Amino acid sequence: MAQAGARSCALTCDIAETRGHDKLLDEAEAALGPIDCLVNNAGVSVLSRGDLLDVTPEANDHCQHVNTRGTFFLTQAFARRLLARPTPPHHRRVVTITSTNAQAVSIQRGEYCVSKAALSMVSSLFAVRLGGAGIGVYEVMPGLIETEMSMVSRARYEAEIERGWLVMPRWGRPKEVGRAVATLAQGLLPYTVGQAVRVDGGMLIHRYGKRSDRATSATSGRGLTQIIFGVARAAIVFARCSSTAPSPSRRSSRTAASSGATRRWKAR
């Protein structure tokens, strides 16, 4: 960091212990001066993967205390400091690392999914609360990233990649998450509020069917084209019915014509 011309300091804190948050911020500002950006990157995985019906309160608390509760109250403490100071001319920021598991179910890590889904809402709440004060609050949602946490199930994940799980068929790299965070932390998107940036290789994009687009056969492709064409025809019929409110004298005839068009489309 020093070689890059940046000041830095290393501090330790268990964010699950909320009483230590102010001390952490005090020490950081004593070393660096007033801080105007917070990146919430602390997080833990499950104690063990397993059946959702076997999750214990202790296992659930393990994820909640760090991933959700601790991050919520550290962000709150940081926000109070920002609001207590005069508004600077530059953009102030909070960036929170959540996960694609905030939206995508991982049945063997239920407590982790719950904690990240709640954290995603925490980010949205602070975005609304602080946006009027010129403080940008953002969320970064990593997908399958090469980290120690994900290496536990590397073989299974790689098999899923082969079956077309991701649009970009490879693991993500930590530096790719870092680039997204750096863009937000530098205030390069000032007129934005509460955006969630996915760094997931297309994991969360809703796609037709279970196979990848590359593996879809020509026959399936024709079937999809027919479905899309049918939906388009339906949309045209709907638009004709609702684009202009007919006068009372014409309403019955237009409804009948539209119904006829609908019947013809279904027959085809």
- Assigned domain for 239 exists: yes
The crossing angle, in degrees rounded to 10, of helices 248-267 and 218-242 is 170
114 and 62 within one domain: yes
Q: Are residues 156 and 233 in the same domain?
A: no
- Residues 149, 263, single domain; the answer is no
DSSP summary character for residue 190: T
Element (H, E) at 30: helix 21-32
> Using one digit for the tens of pLDDT, what is the confidence trace for 136-170?
999 999 999 998 878 888 888 899 889 889 999 99
Q: Which residues constitute the domain of residue 153?
A: 36-199
Q: Are residues 80 and 165 in the same domain?
A: yes
Same domain, 189 and 237: no
Quote the pLDDT of residue 210.
Answer: 55
Q: In sequence order, what are the residues at sequence separation of 6 or more whose Cβ sits closer than 8 angstroms to the Cβ of residue 22?
A: 77
Q: Does a structural domain hold residue 118? A: yes
User: Is 205 within a domain?
Assistant: no
Residue 252 has pLDDT above 60, yes or no: no
Structural domain count, the chain: 2
* CA-closest candidate to residue 21, choices 68, 70, 84, 80: 70
Q: Is the pTM of this model over 0.85?
A: no
For residue 135, is it within any domain? yes
For residue 209, name the pLDDT band (cuts at 50, 70, 90): low
Domain co-membership, 180 together with 68: yes
Q: Do 169 and 230 reside in the same domain of the chain?
A: no
pLDDT, mean of residues 20-33:
96
Q: What is the pLDDT of residue 157?
A: 86
> Distance between CA atoms of 5 and 56, rounded to whole angstroms?
47
Query: Is residue 6's pLDDT more than 90?
Result: no
Residue 8 maps to a domain? no
Quote the distance between the C-alpha of residue 30 and its chain's center: 33
**Predicted confidence (pLDDT) per residue in 87-123, tens digit:** 998 889 999 999 999 999 999 999 999 999 999 999 9
49 with 152, same domain?
yes
Q: How far apart are the first and last CA of the chain?
A: 66
Indicate if 101 and 233 belong to the same structural domain. Answer: no
Q: Looking at residue 245, what DSSP letter applies?
A: P
- 230 in any annotated domain: yes
d(CA 7, CA 31): 9
Domain boundary among 167, 199, 231: 199
Tell me the pLDDT band of 211, cut-offs 50, 70 and 90: low
**Residue 236 pLDDT > 50:** no
* H or E, element range at 239: helix 218-242
Whether 171 is in a domain gets the answer yes
Question: Is residue 123 located within the same domain as residue 221?
Answer: no
Q: CA dist 142 to 165, 267, 268, Å? A: 15, 46, 44
Q: What is the structure's pLDDT at 156?
A: 86
Does 220 lie in the same domain as 254? yes
**Positions of E strands within 114-176:** 135-142
Residues 146 and 238 in one domain: no
Give the bridge partners for 94, in sequence order: 38, 137
